[in-house]
């Protein structure tokens, strides 16, 4: 199962499973992941789980910034919506999370698609 790992100075502090089709993160208590940080918007980002078009029993995970005041970074680059890859670092406010796809071995797997010719 995919998860976000809250990190600080290289230490893993807490795991947050991405076990629903949509998981929200923000300051409000209604979010599945709640952060007490003034730099985090009420609902800052959502994580969407969608079935992979290429691999059976595999999901892709997208992060989407919900028009937050301070933005969202993936690997130190501001994003609006982006497909997450195993090992990506997500920053929301002062918090950094490591994205663990739960299937890290797939990052090393080559997929050959047939030619349409």
**Model pLDDT, residue 53:** 82
Asked if residue 117 is part of any domain, the answer here is no
Residues of the domain holding 15: 3-108
Which residue, among 70, 71, 74, has the nearest Cα to 62 in the 3D structure? 74
Asked if residue 23 is part of any domain, the answer here is yes
Return the exposure string of 10-43: e unless at least 16 CB atoms fall within 10 Å of the residue's CB, then b.
eeeeeebebeeeebbbbbeeebbbebeeeebbeb
In terms of pLDDT, which residue wins out, 56 or 74? 74
Q: Is the pLDDT of residue 23 over 70?
A: yes
Asked if residue 115 is part of any domain, the answer here is no
Asked if residue 114 is part of any domain, the answer here is no
Query: Based on the structure, what is the number of domains in the chain?
Result: 1
Q: Is the pLDDT of residue 99 over 60?
A: yes
DSSP secondary structure code for residue 105 in this structure? G
pTM of the model: 0.84
Residue 58 — very low, low, confident or very high, per pLDDT cuts 50/70/90? confident
**Model pLDDT, residue 80:** 98
Domain of 55, CATH number, reads 2.60.200.20
Q: Is the pLDDT of residue 106 over 50?
A: no
């Amino acid at each position: 199962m995919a998860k976000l790992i809250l990190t600080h100075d290289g230490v893993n502090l807490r795991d947050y499973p991405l076990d629903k089709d949509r998981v929200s993160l923000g300051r409000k208590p209604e979010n599945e992941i709640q952060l007490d940080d003034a730099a985090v918007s009420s609902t800052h980002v959502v994580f969407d789980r969608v079935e992979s078009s290429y691999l059976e029993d595999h999901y892709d995970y997208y992060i989407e910034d919900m028009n937050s005041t301070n933005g969202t970074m993936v690997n130190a680059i501001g994003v609006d919506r982006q497909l997450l890859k195993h090992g990506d670092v997500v920053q929301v406010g002062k918090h950094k999370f490591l994205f663990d796809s739960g299937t890290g071995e797939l990052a090393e797997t080559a997929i050959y698609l047939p030619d349409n010719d």
